[in-house]
Amino acid sequence: MTSPAPHSRLALDNVRVFDGHGLTAPETVVIDGPIIGADATGARHLDADGAILLPGFIDAHVHLHDLQTPQVLAAHGVTTSLDMTAAPDLVAALRNGPYADSLRSAVLPVVGPGSAHARALGEQVIIHAPEQAEDAVAQRIKDGCDYVKLVLEEPGHGGPGTATASAVVAAAHARAFLVIAHAATPGAYTIALDAGADIITHIPVAGPLPQHDIDRMAAGPAAAVPTLGMMQGYAEIAGDAADFEHALANVAALHAAGVPILAGTDANAIPVSPVRPPFGASLHRELELLVRAGLSTADALRAATTGPARAFGLTDRGAITPGLRADLVLLDGDPLADITATRSIQRIWRAGIDQPVEPHAPNTFG
């Protein structure tokens, strides 16, 4: 990849803007340094010839791998990445680099002693009892987390119980931190809701979510990050296509109930992970799967723009509005007519900086 071009004031003329619901008539959008401006005076003009301008995509579930990961994501239009587990030293190094403003991280999660995550990450992430919740959250904050990730399991499978999970949520909320709960089974979803988690990531494939829990999510502040591409990968490994149909049906049920659905991929390069969605390219596949699950194309676009910005408190991005960050993606095609058109990227700007555009590789899992 080549280095991004420096800031300059640029007026994009004749662009149709996705405003969160539909497309505007052709208009001018000004990139004024790192923000979207309101004054084209002195700007260099570019005729976009009716191309479609979207906010930069936000991937609400990634695992940062190395110092190049944010650049790889940005080259696919993912201008903000929300990391759900990464080593503290890597996160610290990224925050001292040029893409610091493009990422947020949970750093290390809080997990129970019997989960696979505990075996992979070691004693440093394990919580045994509610009395350890304050120290666990304090350590995550010391490590530099932007939110706390709590890994939950089906009851009896090694994750924190409801009392411990509730104590972690209470400790995080007392310090004004969101809690993102990993919950890939119906029982783990129930614990997440009982504990008061703010955002639940993954979606069960083993069967339907109980209607009671769907109703509770719809009534509360909780949002869902289904990571459908990841769940499809696990279903394919298991050789049971019916499992993935459960996942799609669960997303459809949550969406129909009014639960905010956010686009997250679980993109990773972890050698021991049996499913490794590719950074950046998998976000486009995730949007396609969300549409397959019953979201409209506009819903899917919101799931990767305004939705995660709102759910994670990213008030400076997620929409094309003067004063917000100039995180922008210019497309050849119309994703409201065909969601696969998000892959037809002409130009990308991250905080006003022109980014290299990476051709979309086949979205396969290795």
- Fold observed for domain 57-312: TIM Barrel (3.20.20)
Q: What is the pTM of this model?
A: 0.95
User: Which amino acid, 9?
Assistant: R
pLDDT of residue 221: 86
228 burial class (0-12, 13-18, 19+ CB within 10 angstroms)?
buried
Helix then strand then coil, in percent of the chain rounded to 5, is: 35, 20, 45
The domain spans of the chain are 10-54+317-355, 57-312
Above 50 in pLDDT, residue 362?
A: no
Helix pair angle (133-143, 162-174), 10° resolution: 50
Least confident interval from 6-10, 95-99, 104-108, 319-323: 6-10
pLDDT tens digits for 188-219? Answer: 999 999 999 999 999 999 899 999 999 999 99
3-state secondary structure of 96: coil
- What are the phi and psi torsion angles at 105 (to 5°)? -150, 145
Structure tokens given for 285: 């596949």
Model confidence at 344, in pLDDT bands (50, 70, 90)?
very high
Write 126-130 long-range contacts (CB < 8 A, 24+). Answer: 127/160, 127/164, 127/168, 128/164, 129/164, 130/163, 130/164, 130/166, 130/167
Encoded tokens for 131: 């009395």
pLDDT in tens, 3-32: 444 457 999 999 999 999 999 999 999 999
- What CATH number matches the domain at 10-54+317-355, 3.40.50.1220, 2.30.40.10, 3.90.640.10, 3.40.50.740? 2.30.40.10
Return the bridge partners of 366, or none: none
Residue type, 116: A
Summary mean pLDDT of the chain: 94
Identity at 161, one-letter amino acid code: G
Contact 44, 9 (CB under 8 A): yes
